[in-house]
Amino acid sequence: MATEQPTATAPPTGAATATAAGDATAVAHPNIALIKYWGKRDERLVLPWTDSLSMTLDVFPTTTRVRLDPAAGQDTVTLDGVPLEGEPRRRVVAFLDLVRERAGRPARAVVETGNTVPTGAGLASSASGFAALAAAASAAYGLGLDATGLSRLARRGSGSASRSVFGGFAIWHAGQPDHGADPDLGSYAEPVPVPVDELDPALVVAVVDAGPKAVSSREAMRRTVDTSPLYRPWAASSQADLADMREALRRADLDAVGEVAERNALGMHATMLAARPAVRYLSAATVTVLDAVLELRRSGVSAWATMDAGPNVKVLCRRAEADRVAGVVREAVRSGSVHIAGPGPAARLLDADA
SS3 250: helix
Q: How far is the CB of 159 from ligand DP6 (least distance, A)?
A: 3
How many residues in the chain?
A: 354
Task: Report whether 148 contacts 5 (CB < 8 A).
Answer: yes
> Nearer to ligand DP6 by C-beta: 124 or 150?
124
Q: How far is the CB of 104 from ligand DP6 (least distance, A)?
A: 26
> Nearer to ligand DP6 by C-beta: 130 or 142?
130
Rg (CA), the chain: 19
Q: How far is the CB of 46 from ligand DP6 (least distance, A)?
A: 5
> Nearer to ligand DP6 by C-beta: 119 or 302?
119
> Nearer to ligand DP6 by C-beta: 33 or 66?
33
Q: How far is the CB of 301 from ligand DP6 (least distance, A)?
A: 25
Q: How far is the CB of 285 from ligand DP6 (least distance, A)?
A: 18
DSSP characters over 151-208: HHHHHHH-TTHHHHTSSSEEEE----TT-SS-GGGG--EEE----HHHH-EEEEEEES
Q: How far is the CB of 283 from ligand DP6 (least distance, A)?
A: 16
Dihedral pair phi/psi, residue 188, rounded to 5°? -155, 165
Dihedral pair phi/psi, residue 317, rounded to 5°? -155, 180
> Nearer to ligand DP6 by C-beta: 37 or 49?
37
Edge to edge, the sheet with strand 52-56 lists 31-35, 52-56, 169-172, 189-191
Count Cβ atoms within 10 A of the Cβ of residue 289 and give its class: 0-12 exposed, 13-18 middle, 19 or more buried: buried
Cα–Cα distance for residue pair 317/150, rounded to 1 Å: 31
DSSP characters over 82-105: EE--HHHHHHHHHHHHHHHHHHT-
> Nearer to ligand DP6 by C-beta: 19 or 50?
50
CB atoms within 10 A of CB 333: 22
Cα–Cα distance for residue pair 303/321, rounded to 1 Å: 9
Q: How far is the CB of 278 from ligand DP6 (least distance, A)?
A: 16
> Nearer to ligand DP6 by C-beta: 141 or 172?
172
> Nearer to ligand DP6 by C-beta: 66 or 279?
279
Q: How far is the CB of 295 from ligand DP6 (least distance, A)?
A: 25
Task: Report whether 154 contacts 164 (CB < 8 A).
Answer: yes
Sign of the Cα torsion 8, 14, 18, 23 reads: positive
Site residues for ligand DP6 per CB under 6 A: 33, 36-38, 46, 52, 124, 126, 158-160, 217-218, 308-309
CA atoms within 13 A on the CB side of 303: 28
Q: How far is the CB of 218 from ligand DP6 (least distance, A)?
A: 4
> Nearer to ligand DP6 by C-beta: 2 or 94?
94
